[in-house]
Amino acid sequence: MLALRDTLMRLTQRLKAWIQKWRSNGARPISQPASPAEILRRVKRLEVKLRRLVSEMFLGAYESIFKGQGLEFEEVREYQVGDDVRMIDWNVTARMGKPYVKKFRHERELRVFVVVDISPSLMFGTQGKLKSELAAEVAAALILAAIRSNDRVGLLLFTDRIEKFVPPRKGIRHAHRLIRELLFTRPQGSGTDLTVALDFLRRITRRRRSVIFLFSDFHANDYELALKRLATRHEVLALVLHDRREHSLAPLGVARFWDLETGEEIWVDLRSVREAERRQRGLEVEWQRRRQLLTKLRVDHAEVTPGESPLLPLMELFRKRERRLRSGK
């Protein structure tokens, strides 16, 4: 018994030292900043991995769901049976002696913002991958798809403050820069404040409607009004990051828990199955409350969990949006 207690104490001390080191670095504990060559290698490795996943099928789904905000002229062609007579170009018709119609297409270019929570609560994972790594991978897949569709893509990283903002641009070099920021930005903040990020976006996107992908575990308070204001003006889609163990408690005995954002630690008595189930129900109620809030604000959302393809939650999100558009809601 004493040996087991000593082992647990040593593990506890090592974990506390890890957390402290991580908090002081503002990222996972590493001894030296990554060199430019290492940064480039990691960006290239991730791009190669995701290039196979970002298939034509995924690109087609992305482009069909996210059309541009208007119509642009494409060509004038000869009238065909079934064409809308309101589209007849009378000037060309008079010159050519037979009816011609104007053809328009949806404006393809969008302005897309990828907004990623990089707060300390995302430095958690029990399925072989941290929530922060999962967010970076899915966000990178989305960035590559948007860039390949010739959209302008911007990036916003936040904690309880704005950590990094990169304005929307096009091109694969810009995509590499965004992925590099996703992988290597070290947060300075120690908490999560969604309102700060949402209000910042609302200020910089007033002139033009945008598509906003919001990645977070939503461990925050009092963001409903800010999210409502942003969703009224723009197309907001949420990807909710979570680990299954966050909502599952087993009767582990007396266990110690750390808050990754505040550093606070508490002891919880989980010797009783009933007590473990009671606390788990509380976690599930809180999780359901977040889902209901997103649904209430008409923000399409999908859950992102470790152990699945980065494209699965995005495809689920696209299907939800398509169903809502078809229903006219």
d(CA 109, CA 314): 20
Among the three residues 80, 106, 132, which one is the final residue of a domain in this structure? 106
Domain match, 142 and 254 both: yes
pLDDT at 273: 63
**Considering the chain, what is the average pLDDT of its residues?**
77
Instruction: Reply yes or no on whether the pLDDT at 197 is more than 50.
Output: yes
* Run of H or E including 115: strand 111-117
Q: Is 291 exposed, middle or buried (0-12, 13-18, 19+ CB in 10 A)?
A: middle
Domain match, 96 and 235 both: no
Instruction: Reply yes or no on whether the pLDDT at 200 is more than 60.
Output: yes
pTM (2 d.p.): 0.71
Mean pLDDT of 223-235: 93
Residue type, 81: V
Confidence of residue 314 (pLDDT cuts 50, 70, 90): confident
Domain match, 97 and 153 both: no
Domain match, 134 and 256 both: yes
Establish if 5 belongs to a structural domain: no
Confidence of residue 71 (pLDDT cuts 50, 70, 90): low
Domain match, 119 and 179 both: yes
Range of the domain at 88: 71-106
Domain match, 98 and 220 both: no
Least confident of 61-75, 110-124, 221-235, 254-268: 61-75
CATH code, domain with 244: 3.40.50.410
d(CA 177, CA 180): 5
d(CA 220, CA 241): 13
Domain match, 231 and 216 both: yes
Residue reference for tokens 């948007």: 146
Domain match, 188 and 257 both: yes
Domain match, 182 and 91 both: no
Confidence of residue 215 (pLDDT cuts 50, 70, 90): very high
Instruction: Reply yes or no on whether the pLDDT at 283 is more than 80.
Output: no
- The DSSP code for 187 is P
Residue 317 or 273, more confident: 317
Establish if 75 belongs to a structural domain: yes
Establish if 22 belongs to a structural domain: no
Domain match, 159 and 275 both: yes
Establish if 29 belongs to a structural domain: no
Establish if 17 belongs to a structural domain: no
Establish if 102 belongs to a structural domain: yes
Domain match, 210 and 128 both: yes
Total tally of structural domains belonging to the chain: 2
Domain match, 165 and 81 both: no
